[in-house]
């Protein structure tokens, strides 16, 4: 498994502002959006392309365009939705699927409550959006589901990761035949006893939407 911690002063600047508890929801949403676009730039370095010829006003030129089938972007509901616009800004032609996974706050075990994906993901590069890679349980469940549908490359984009979560995802996909990558803006110290990343930024869904998410 490939883990890329994006190292750029603009990424660090936006992440620091996201962490700040004084940052309100509208500002948090804007910063998360901008941060995802920067992370997406790193995450799509190996997006598949095909060679094309175009005619400029001056001459013929050889270039690249995104290959078919189109990449699939999958935000994990609910907090992953706050990353969708930022991702689609960079990949406007990507197809978008949705996965709803919720973790039990006591057992931390994730269950799927919504899935809207193409029937087959054969030959598809998939970009999963999940802001907080904490225990890794939710992300692992999402990646397993995508691989079971035939995805042949999965890249997770996370605003923040915990070492425990990265180790868990690595333990599941370290020698997977399907390449799995994690791209993140930072790896924090640890998880606390409630499964929150420390120092982290709190509950990403609540900070994005200003609600508790209780049904
Ligand atoms: N989910 C969050 O929103 N925050 C954390 O710190 C961990 C999981």
Question: What gap in Å lies between CA 193 and CA 179, rounded to an integer?
Answer: 31
202 Cα: distance to centroid of ligand 1 (angstroms):
6
The CA radius of gyration of the chain, in Å to the nearest whole number, is: 17
What stretch of H or E contains 148? helix 137-148
**Is the per-residue pLDDT at 1 higher than 80?**
yes
The domain spans of the chain are 2-209
- Pick the more confident residue, 105 or 11: 11
Tokens 């970009």, located at residue: 127
Q: Residue 167, SS3?
A: helix
**Is the per-residue pLDDT at 60 higher than 90?**
yes
Question: What gap in Å lies between CA 144 and CA 167, rounded to an integer?
Answer: 16
State which ligand 1 atom lies nearest to the alpha carbon of 201.
6
Residues 2-15, mean pLDDT to the nearest whole number: 96
Residues 28-44, mean pLDDT to the nearest whole number: 97
Task: For residue 26, give the DSSP letter.
Answer: H
| Residue of minimum CA distance from atom 5 in ligand 1 | 196
Q: Give the residue, out of 78, 202, 210, with the most ligand 1 atoms within 8 A of its beta carbon, to mutate for a pocket test.
A: 202
Q: What is the pLDDT of residue 213?
A: 47
Per CATH, which fold does 2-209 belong to? Rossmann fold (3.40.50)
């Amino acid at each position: 498994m490939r883990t890329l911690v994006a190292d750029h002063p603009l990424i660090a600047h936006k992440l620091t502002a996201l962490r700040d508890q004084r940052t309100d929801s509208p500002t948090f949403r804007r910063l998360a959006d901008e941060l995802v676009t920067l992370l997406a730039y790193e995450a799509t370095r190996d997006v598949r392309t095909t060679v094309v010829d175009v005619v400029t006003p001056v001459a013929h030129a050889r270039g690249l365009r995104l290959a078919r089938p189109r990449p699939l972007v999958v935000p994990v509901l609910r907090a992953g939705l706050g990353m969708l616009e930022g991702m689609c800004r960079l990949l406007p032609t990507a197809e978008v699927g949705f996965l709803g996974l919720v973790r039990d706050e006591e057992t931390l075990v994730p269950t799927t409550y919504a899935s809207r994906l193409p029937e087959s993901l054969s030959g598809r590069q998939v970009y999963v959006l999940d802001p907080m890679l904490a225990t890794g349980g939710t992300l692992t469940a999402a990646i397993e589901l995508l691989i079971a549908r035939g995805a042949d490359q999965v890249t997770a984009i996370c605003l923040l990761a915990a070492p425990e979560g990265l180790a868990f995802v690595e333990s599941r996909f370290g020698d997977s035949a399907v390449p799995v990558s994690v791209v993140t803006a930072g790896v924090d110290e640890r998880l606390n006893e409630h499964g929150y990343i420390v120092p982290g930024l709190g509950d990403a869904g609540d900070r994005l939407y200003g609600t508790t998410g209780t049904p």
